[in-house]
Amino acid sequence: MRARTRRLVRRTMLVTIGAAALVTPLAARRTPRLTVARLQYDGGGDWYANPSSLPNLLAAIRERTSFPVERTEARVTIMDDRLWDYPFLHMTGHGNVALSDAEVVRLREYLLRGGFLHADDNYGLDESFRREMKRVFPDRELVDVPLSHPIYHAVYEMPRGLPKIHEHDGKPARGFGIFIGDRLAVFYSYSSDLGNGWEDPETYHDPPALHEAALRMGINLFVYAVTSRPVS
């Protein structure tokens, strides 16, 4: 009963938190836009992978929480002035990621100012993503996010952590992160194919339970991102 009560309280809190989360240092000049911004990067990787994933995730957020998210994803580069408008940045792909020196500095600033990056390894991103994140934060490591962290409990209880959507090397799904103080600023879903689970069900014909688990994890990511930012 207590677990059910906690879930109801969390959902009720979204009604008031949703509005309060719009005022942060991330976009002091403009009001942040509530959508997911897909990161367009250089290096040859297919940053545009999983085309139906983000629209489906946004629809689930809109239907299941009080956040008035937009119906369409945004698409930005790191050097785009609109970057500051978006509190949730998503990147995915199967190939190489290459950031310029200016992009490294800009991404670091975005994250330090309260932005959140979700990187989803679509099988092939791992080596270059780790390399580039080491340039962004040479003094911080990608570490396992403990199962007790709020990102696994923000709206839905995910006691086992990331769902395993597709098999590749037989490795378990793992959630890595980079922390700035107590705040999780980067979440890296590895060996999970989380974005594939957000895609239209007929794309991969995954069981409904996997599609649902992926959406629940995505909702948790978004809600944590927009409610954990430092308030000015």
Give the per-residue pLDDT at 177.
98
Rg (alpha carbons) of the chain, rounded to whole number: 16
Query: Could you tell me if residue 232 is inside a domain?
Result: no
Query: Could you tell me if residue 106 is inside a domain?
Result: yes
**Number of structural domains in the chain:** 1
Query: Could you tell me if residue 99 is inside a domain?
Result: yes
Below-50 pLDDT ranges, the chain = 1-9, 11-25, 27-29
Q: How far is CA 168 from CA 17, 79, 101, 173, 210, in A?
A: 38, 33, 33, 10, 16
Give the per-residue pLDDT at 29.
44
| Exposed / middle / buried, residue 86 (Cβ in 10 Å: 0-12, 13-18, 19+) | buried
CB atoms within 10 A of CB 54: 23
Give the per-residue pLDDT at 33.
72
Given a contact cutoff of 8 angstroms between Cβ atoms, the answer to whether 2 and 56 are in contact is no
Residue 199 is classified by DSSP as S
Query: Could you tell me if residue 193 is inside a domain?
Result: yes
CATH number of the structural domain spanning residue 127: 3.40.50.12140
Query: Could you tell me if residue 45 is inside a domain?
Result: yes
Give the per-residue pLDDT at 16.
37
Give the per-residue pLDDT at 223.
97
Determine the structural domain holding residue 171 and report its residue range: 2-227
- H or E element, residue 209: helix 208-227
Model confidence pLDDT, tens digit, residues 138-185: 999 999 999 999 999 999 999 999 999 998 888 999 999 999 999 999
Give the per-residue pLDDT at 2.
42
| SS3 of 112-159 | HCCCEEEEEECCCCHHHHHHHHHHHCCCCCCEECCCCCHHHCCCCCCC
